[in-house]
Amino acid sequence: MNIEKNNRTVYWNPYFGGFLLGILIILTFYITGRGLGATGALKSGVVAVVDAVAPTHAANNAYYSKFIPEEKSVLDSWLVFEAIGVILGAIISGGLSGRIAWKIQRSPKITNRRRLIFAIGGGILFGLGAQIARGCTSGAGLSGMSVLSTGGFITVISIFGAGYLAAYFFRKNWI
Amino acid sequence: MGPLLPNGIIPTEWDSLIAILIGLVFGFILESSGFSSSRKLAGVFYGYDFAVLKVFFTAALVALIGMYYMDYLGYMDLAQLYVHPTYLWGAIIGGIIMGVGFVSAGFCPGTSLCALAIGKIDAFAYVGGALIGIFIFSELFTLFQPLYDGTFLGNVTLMDTFDINPYWFVFIFTLIAILIFVISDLIRKRTKKQVYN
């Protein structure tokens, strides 16, 4: 029991994880010519739902219509399949380490309700910001930096800069 | 010579299967590195855990150095790779909004998918929020469009923007990263530990 409990918090050495992730990025660029992404799949999800519920509205909106292909489904995209893979990979890793469990992870100093409100709020901001910057920490940050994209570096500096500046106001959630 | 799919060396029918396999390894690495834990991720902003910084910059540097070697040895043509485009103000303002979202929720979209996969209910809330954020942006697109499409500088790299030698840049960037890793360890030792899993 004790071993199992401890095992859950044992993660890889960050340099080892980073090294493997770097190799994966090389492999991804080598095979596909593009990098990794995460928000793209969520965007496809939103476009697919809007297109199903209100197809005329989606076709008339200058943003949705960019991402509705003529001949195939909105969800038939590289990033959607990649995101499905991410979820499967995390289930395998979490399963092997005994980390799969329903729970709300939070600091003991805050309530579940507060945690969920800040998680939703943070999600809204990240979803919005990732559209404005045309990519999130994966697509703009990790993949952008790997090919020395100027925009990728600017976005990463902005994310971490704003995070550090705003950290004081959110400290109760974490420390 | 790579990239393989754009050059027709691997037929495009394999596209979706390759996407799932690459995603699978991506998710496995993120989860095993502890990125399914929002408290671990948020540690980078408070000095009690710098795993995000270490994994993120190690990965970017390994990828950079590896791809420059592959280009040098003739295995891959860097000029054919997709370069994330630079829309100056979009990158800055979008980044700032994401930064506030990051410290509020302790997730970015990729890590939230890993957390959701192992049953974190706060990650489901986060992904729901992100979908709402994307929906808001799309519905108000005409309002955001000047920012989204404005100040376009092209699919430029740092070499185009600052006219620097990429090899020197990668070398100096590596030294800076190592320095940051050392400093982050010093900071972590002086910061109060947080207990979480």
Among A17, A28, A78, select the one facing B29 at the smallest CB separation: A17
Q: Are B93 and B192 in contact (CB under 8 A)?
A: no
Among B10, B56, B104, select the one facing A170 at the smallest CB separation: B104
Tens-digit pLDDT profile for residues B46-57: 999 999 999 999
Is A158 touching B (CB cutoff 8 A)?
Answer: yes
- How far the first Cα of chain B sits from its last, in Å, is 44
Is a pLDDT exceeding 80 seen at residue B151?
yes
Is a pLDDT exceeding 50 seen at residue B112?
yes
B12 confidence band (pLDDT: 50, 70, 90): confident
B43 confidence band (pLDDT: 50, 70, 90): very high
Is a pLDDT exceeding 70 seen at residue B23?
yes
**What is the pLDDT, as a whole number, of residue B197?**
67
Is a pLDDT exceeding 60 seen at residue A105?
yes
Is B177 touching A (CB cutoff 8 A)?
Answer: no
Strand partners for B120:
A103
**What is the pLDDT, as a whole number, of residue B195?**
84
Of the CA atoms within 13 Å of residue A164, those in its CB half-sphere come to 9
Residue type at position A154: I
Tens-digit pLDDT profile for residues A111-127: 999 999 999 999 999 99
Is a pLDDT exceeding 70 seen at residue A101?
yes
Is a pLDDT exceeding 60 seen at residue B124?
yes
Among B64, B94, B121, select the one facing A132 at the smallest CB separation: B94
Residue A24, H or E segment: helix A14-32
Mean pLDDT calculated for residue range B97-101: 97
Buried b or exposed e, range A106-131, using 16+ CB within 10 angstroms: bbeeeeeeebbbbbbbbbbbbbbbbb
Which residue on chain B is closest to A171 by alpha carbon?
B46
Tens-digit pLDDT profile for residues A139-174: 999 999 999 999 999 999 999 999 999 999 999 999
- Distance separating alpha carbons of residues A9 and A16, to the nearest angstrom: 16
**What is the pLDDT, as a whole number, of residue A35?**
92
Is a pLDDT exceeding 50 seen at residue A3?
no
CB contact residues (below 8 A), chain B span 106-165, against chain A: 106-110, 112-123, 125-139, 141-142, 144-145, 147-148, 153, 155-161
Nearest-neighbour CA in chain B from A1: distance (Å) = 15
Q: Are B150 and B85 in contact (CB under 8 A)?
A: no
Mean pLDDT calculated for residue range B45-70: 95
pLDDT > 90 in chain B, percent: 89
Nearest-neighbour CA in chain A from B2: distance (Å) = 5
The number of beta carbons lying within 10 Å of the beta carbon of residue A84 is: 19
DSSP per-residue codes, A125-147? HHHHHHHHTTS-IIIIIIHHHHT
**What is the pLDDT, as a whole number, of residue A8?**
52
**Pairs of residues, one from chain A and one from chain B, whose beta carbons lie less than 8 Å apart:** 532
Q: Are B115 and B107 in contact (CB under 8 A)?
A: yes
**What is the pLDDT, as a whole number, of residue A1?**
39
Is a pLDDT exceeding 50 seen at residue A2?
no
**What is the pLDDT, as a whole number, of residue B38?**
95
Among B67, B97, B142, select the one facing A146 at the smallest CB separation: B67
Mean pLDDT calculated for residue range A25-49: 95
In sequence order, what are the residues at sequence separation of 6 or more whose Cβ sits closer than 8 angstroms to the Cβ of residue A113?
Answer: none
Is a pLDDT exceeding 60 seen at residue B114?
yes
- Mean pLDDT (chain B) is 94
With CA atoms as reference, report the closest residue to B158 among A134, A33, A157, A161: A157
pLDDT > 90 in chain A, percent: 90
Is a pLDDT exceeding 60 seen at residue A96?
yes
B13 confidence band (pLDDT: 50, 70, 90): confident
